[in-house]
Amino acid sequence: MRLGSDVDSFSATWQRSYASLDVLPEDEVCHFRIVVERQLGARRWYRPQVVFRIEGLTPFDPYPLDHAFPMFEWGLNWCIAMSAHDYLMLHSAVVERDGCAVVLPAQPGSGKSTLCAALVGRGWRLLSDEFGILRHADGCFLPLPRAAPLKNASIPLLRDFAPHLGFGPRYAKTRKGDVVHMFPPGDSLQRQADPARPRFIVFPRYEPGAALQLQEQPPEVAMTRLVNNSFNYRVSGALGFRSLCRLVRECASYQLINGDLSEAVAAVESLVQAREP
Amino acid sequence: MMHGWQLSSHDTLILEEIGDCVAVYSNATGETHLLDALPAEVLSCLSSGACLTHLELAVAVAKVADEPWENWLPQVCNVLERLASMQLVERFAR
């Protein structure tokens, strides 16, 4: 990605989030050329705004200037969702420990990002908070470690649960409520070229006050849920079908209903600890 | 004139066993279906390009189940109608 910006606060937050990434040479071919810049016009004097440009196009309405970082992150998600069709894209977080990747597919509001961030806080490698990028050739997930947006009540929860993680500024009243990003740990960024083989699929669902339930899901149920969860299943055609079949055959699948973050983390960790070598 | 059944024209199917079901992908429509054993067996019989009557399909299924074909005929007829509504098979005249 080639990124340019004239918004100082955005540049500072971006550098904090991705500080350990290597900068590519000027002539390196990149997937996306993105500019995050101030919106010109009279409005910039009384309510300054920022725009996201990709290859010179402006696909979104402007955001308030101080929301430049969440705009960039959501804009980059859009770019990936629109173009990464060489892979099967799941709406899921993916974390890995000891060579064992756990896929966390979920709908918005299910606590996926919160659980993902908590696992990262316990030392799991972050492959992705939003996109499970499944490679058709070998069934492995490719890392896409990015800043994970925590929303509303998740923000103080994660600050208490994993205070050692890096967190960005608070963005109040975005379209998704208040947002704070958990920055990707340096070791996850350094290992962004290392794919991981999935062993477990866990469908998380947060329900306030709910007792922990970890129930195995038949593979055909997991298959149905993943077909509906994928961003580009229909575009992927037969390749996507075969990749999903392989994924649900090679992984044990579970539904995880939880009302307590510590219990949810312990449940996921118990799966991995109990697996046969 | 007898009526039989074949896979929908210009379609090829991919069948994969998933747990207790068979996942079926239609190259023509891009749709994915999860089927029980009987409809999957019927599709399997037709997937080589065969054009079979419901009687021939009942005999083929009964052979797998090792039961009299008469027991299977009503179920096979029902399954064929369901598969037709999913655009996976179609009638033909022979």
Domains of chain B by residue range: 3-10+37-93
ipTM topping 0.90: no
**How many other CB atoms are there within 10 angstroms of residue A129's CB atom?**
27
Q: Which of A217, A223, A221 is nearest to A202 (CA)?
A: A217
Read off the pLDDT of residues A21-73 as tens digits, 9 standing for 90 and up: 888 888 888 889 999 999 887 676 778 999 999 998 999 999 999 999 999 99
Task: Name the residue facing A219 among B18, B25, B32 (closest C-beta).
Answer: B18
> Could you tell me if A131 and A260 lie in one domain?
yes
Token duo for residue B17: 């066993």
**Are A277 and A156 part of one and the same domain?**
yes
Q: How many Å is the Cα radius of gyration of chain B? A: 13
Question: How many beta-carbon pairs below 8 A join chains A and B?
Answer: 35
Q: Give residue ranges of A with CB < 8 Å to any B CB.
A: 218-220, 223-224, 227, 233-234, 237-238, 241-242, 245, 248-249
- The answer to whether the CB of B4 falls within 8 A of the CB of B76 is no
A256 to each of A77, A141, A205, A259, how far by Cα in Å? Answer: 26, 21, 6, 10
Q: Which residues of A touch B23 (CB under 8 A)?
A: 220, 223, 241, 245
Domain that holds residue A30: 1-83
- How would you classify the pairing of strands A131-134 and A88-97? antiparallel
Q: Which of A65, A83, A101 is the last residue of a domain?
A: A83
Tell me how far CA of residue A239 lies from CA of A88, A138, A268, in angstroms.
Answer: 8, 12, 29
Q: Which amino acid is at A91?
A: H
Neighbours of B6 (CB within 10 A): 16
Per-residue pLDDT of B72-88, as tens digits, reads: 899 999 999 999 999 99
What is the average per-residue pLDDT within A179-192? 96
Query: A206 and A123, same structural domain?
Result: yes
Residue A176, pLDDT score: 87
pLDDT surpassing 70 at residue B1 = no
**A71 shares its domain with A103:** no
DSSP state of A30: -
Among candidate residues A63, A83, A103, the one where a domain is terminated: A83
Q: What is the pLDDT of residue A207?
A: 93
**Residue A203: CB partners within 8 Å, gap ≥ 6?**
A104, A105, A106, A217, A222, A225, A253, A254, A255, A256
The span from the CA of B36 to the CA of B83, in Å, is 12
pLDDT of B4 strictly over 80: yes
Are A201 and A250 members of one domain? yes
- A209-252 confidence digits (pLDDT tens): 999 999 999 999 999 999 999 999 999 999 999 999 999 999 99
Contact between chains at A223 and B18 (C-beta distance less than 8 A):
yes
Q: Under an 8 A CB cutoff, do B32 and A227 touch?
A: yes
**C-alpha dihedral sign at A16, A158, A52, A18:** positive
Classify residue A78 by its DSSP letter: H
Average pLDDT over residues A167-192: 94
| Measured distance CA(B81)–CA(A138) in Å, rounded | 38
Question: How far apart, in whole angstroms, are the C-alpha atoms of residue B74 and residue A164?
Answer: 66
The domain tally of chain A equals 2
Residue A223 CB neighbour total at 10 angstroms = 25
Q: Within this chain, do residues A14 and A143 fall inside the same structural domain, yes or no?
A: no
Distance in angstroms (rounded) separating the CA atoms of residues A177 and A193? 33
Q: Looking at the predicted structure, is the pLDDT value of residue A277 above 70?
A: no
Q: Are A162 and A122 in contact (CB under 8 A)?
A: yes
By Cβ distance, the residue of A220, A237, A238 closest to B19 is: A220
With residue A171 as reference, give the H or E element that holds it. strand A167-174
Compute the radius of gyration of chain A from its Cα atoms.
19
Integer CA distances (angstroms), A43 to A5, A46, A54, A83, A171, in order: 19, 6, 22, 33, 21
Distance CA A96, CA A31 (A): 25
Nearest to A220 among B14, B20, B27 (CB): B20
Beta bridge partners of A90: A132, A230
Query: At residue B3, does pLDDT exceed 90?
Result: no
